[in-house]
Amino acid sequence: MADVYAIFGTLLALGITFPGFLTAWWLLFPKQVAIAGTRVERTPWRCLGTGLLAAAALVFPALLLAAVPLPFSQLLAAGLLIFGLAVAALGAAGIAATMARRLSRRPDAAPARSLGTFVLAAVALELAVAFPFIGWFLVLPITVVMSLGSAIYGMTGRLPSSGGGAAEEPPETRLAASS
């Protein structure tokens, strides 16, 4: 019975802290999160493909390291996977920022502060992932892979082009740079 309580407590703690974690990434790295969100909104399939390649580049070396019977190889494998998930969290913050932008554009939406809207979007993303079976086995893997791909674009600063010529800067980045 203690195992059930431990699992329930862990899941509850994760559920409470995930929106705060994404909010921290959003506040610490506004430009990268804005670029990642713009990428998810404009080029979702490219983010998914880039994320698949990046996930393969992270998982296969981690599996090889985990199989090696050296003292610190399992630690390096875990560190590689944790690094990949931390990068993917930057992209997940971008997805939540895109969802928040869409929430604030709804005609029936009350005027909300951007932080409150972002936290609401992060909770909505978390609830979508927590939905039994569909969320666990469909939404979660797609979100993690797409987050990883969009985070790579966010960290490199590569925006999608707006049709012809130079890429335009997302409005969130312009606001963050002007303040």
Percent of the chain scoring above 90 in pLDDT: 68
Is 69's pLDDT higher than 50?
yes
Query: Is the pLDDT score of 13 beyond 70?
Result: yes
Closest among 178, 145, 173 to 46, alpha carbons compared? 145
Q: Residue range 43-72: average pLDDT?
A: 94
Residue 167's pLDDT is 46
The per-residue pLDDT for 50 is 96
Q: Which of 4-8, 52-56, 124-128 has the lowest mean pLDDT?
A: 4-8
- Local structure of 35: helix, strand or coil: helix
Rounded to an integer, the average pLDDT of 41-53 is 96
Query: Is 116 in contact with 65 (CB distance < 8 Å)?
Result: no
pLDDT number for residue 166: 40
Residue 136 vs residue 161, higher pLDDT? 136
Domain map (residue ranges) of the chain? 18-178
Query: What are φ and ψ of residue 40, in 5° steps?
Result: -65, -40
37 within 8 A of 98, measured Cβ to Cβ: yes
pLDDT per residue over 153-178, tens digit each? 999 988 887 653 344 555 554 444 44
pLDDT score, position 71? 84
**Nearest to 28, CA basis, from 155, 159, 167, 169:** 155
Q: Tell me what pLDDT residue 174 has.
A: 47
Beta carbons within 10 angstroms of residue 138's beta carbon: 13
Backbone phi, psi, residue 168, to 5°: -90, 150
What pLDDT score was predicted for residue 56? 96
Asked whether residue 151 carries a pLDDT value surpassing 50, the answer given is yes
What does the pLDDT read at residue 112? 61
- Other CB atoms within 10 Å distance of the CB of residue 6: 10
Residue-averaged pLDDT of the chain: 87
- Give the pLDDT of residue 162: 67
User: Residue 12: pLDDT band by 50, 70, 90 thresholds?
Assistant: confident
